[in-house]
Structure 1
Amino acid sequence: MAQLDMHSSLLIKVIRAKGGATRQKTSDIMDTLDQTVDINLRRECVLKALTIFMGEDVNDLIKEYLDSGTDDTQRELEQLTVAVFVIRKEGEGLQEPPEDIGIVIDGTEVLHELTSVASACAMLLGLIYALNLAYPKPLRFTFEVLQKILMQLDQHKMSPKVYNLYSKLQTSQ
């Protein structure tokens, strides 16, 4: 997470410079980022905006549910391949701490009661790496950024899309 914190200001700068659909999709996230001082929420916003910037759907990475007391959430979690889930109480916004944050792999909840979405994403990356799993195709660029830019692992083999972000970060310094 220190690497995420270290790159956050440059990532935000690059993401804010992007126009079009990306700017529209990230505007609410950036508004939340601007209004909060909570480091965990700021990290979550950066990860969500990064996912959108990479042209991927943030809902493929972070599944958010309301704690409605039904089995619908559990059934949905069982259908997921790889995701971070966040369960919030009904009526509470992002400023309130979630009821639960966890990780699902192949429909099985492998971790829960995590402290933040950012730590859940870091643990998910570690689990994927340790279990030698392939990155989920809908999120391959986001995970590649986490691995190659933030974690600085295997940097010499970047996809053109990730290398483009890497170059922008280097020139923004």
Structure 2
Amino acid sequence: MHVSTVFAEFHRINNVNLRNQFYKELDRHTPKLITLFRDKATKTGKIAEELTKLMRIYDLQEQRDVNMRRALVLCALPVYLREDASKFLRTYNSADGPDLTDTPLALLTVVTDDTTDASLFSPETICIVVEDEILVSGPTNLADSFLLLFGYIYALDLQYPKNLELTFTFIQKVVVCLEDNKPLKRASTDAEE
């Protein structure tokens, strides 16, 4: 399914421009979320340690732009919500190739031999994986990749990853502003209507 088809299907069913809505609301909430994450990082415990590590990596970047702020929020959100994103946000070396066995949904950050923790903020490329197959390879920032995967989940009528339901529900309700207390509507074809 072509990228423009994914966004068109989302718009057809919800009358929402996914790309515009996602970035508008994500950018609007980013300063408050980063403050919330920084506050939590000052506490003690495993969640605080993980948030501290993300904040340290972000703070060490020489140039921080909007894409890096978005990546920080999308990486820190599941941590803050106490969800495990390790099977969803994965990194692999371009020389080795990924093992996609039992990978229902994932964003694979491709790195070269110079593997660093900062790869989420400036990756070589990111691959979108659905049901053990790479659907798209190429978006070079986490926010674009996440947005496109969200559209694919919707267009292909997939379930949110079980270990990230709170994160995706937050994106659905707060960032994409879809109706509260209602799950995503199932994608329907014209023959069903």
Q: Give TM class, smaller chain.
A: 0.7 to 0.9
Equivalent residue pairs, number: 154
Preserved contact between residue 60 and residue 83 of structure 1 (Cα < 8 Å) = yes
Runs of 4+ in 1 over 3 A off after TM superposition: none
Counterpart of 1:7 in structure 2: which amino acid?
A: H
Task: Mark the runs of 5 or more structure 1 residues left unpaired by the alignment.
Answer: 159-173
Post-superposition shift, 1:92?
4.5
- Taking the aligned partners of 1:134 and 1:78, their CA distance within structure 2 comes to 18
Preserved contact between residue 93 and residue 115 of structure 2 (Cα < 8 Å) = no
Post-superposition shift, 1:41?
2.3
Question: Are 2:92 and 1:70 equivalent residues in the alignment?
Answer: no
Q: Which has the larger radius of gyration?
A: 2
Preserved contact between residue 85 and residue 163 of structure 2 (Cα < 8 Å) = no
Preserved contact between residue 89 and residue 98 of structure 1 (Cα < 8 Å) = no
Relative distance call for 1:35 and 1:155 in structure 2 (3 A) is farther
Task: Tell me which moved more, 88-97 or 41-50.
Answer: 88-97
Partner of 1:88: 111
- TM-score when scaled to structure 1? 0.80
Q: 1:121 aligns with which of 142, 146, 156?
A: 146
Partner of 1:59, secondary structure, is coil
Task: Tell me which moved more, 14-23 or 51-60.
Answer: 14-23
1:38-76 deviation line (CA, Å, top 9, x unaligned): 322221111111110111122132111122x234x2xx1
- Taking the aligned partners of 2:73 and 2:60, their CA distance within structure 1 comes to 13
- Taking the aligned partners of 1:2 and 1:143, their CA distance within structure 2 comes to 17
- Taking the aligned partners of 1:157 and 1:17, their CA distance within structure 2 comes to 31
Preserved contact between residue 125 and residue 141 of structure 2 (Cα < 8 Å) = no
Q: Aligned residues: percent identity?
A: 31
Counterpart of 1:35 in structure 2: which amino acid?
A: L
Preserved contact between residue 60 and residue 138 of structure 1 (Cα < 8 Å) = no
Task: Select the structure that is richer in helix.
Answer: 1
Preserved contact between residue 78 and residue 108 of structure 1 (Cα < 8 Å) = no
Partner of 1:153, secondary structure, is coil
- TM-score when scaled to structure 2? 0.72
Task: Mark the runs of 5 or more structure 2 residues left unpaired by the alignment.
Answer: 1-22, 184-193
Task: Tell me which moved more, 47-56 or 84-93.
Answer: 84-93
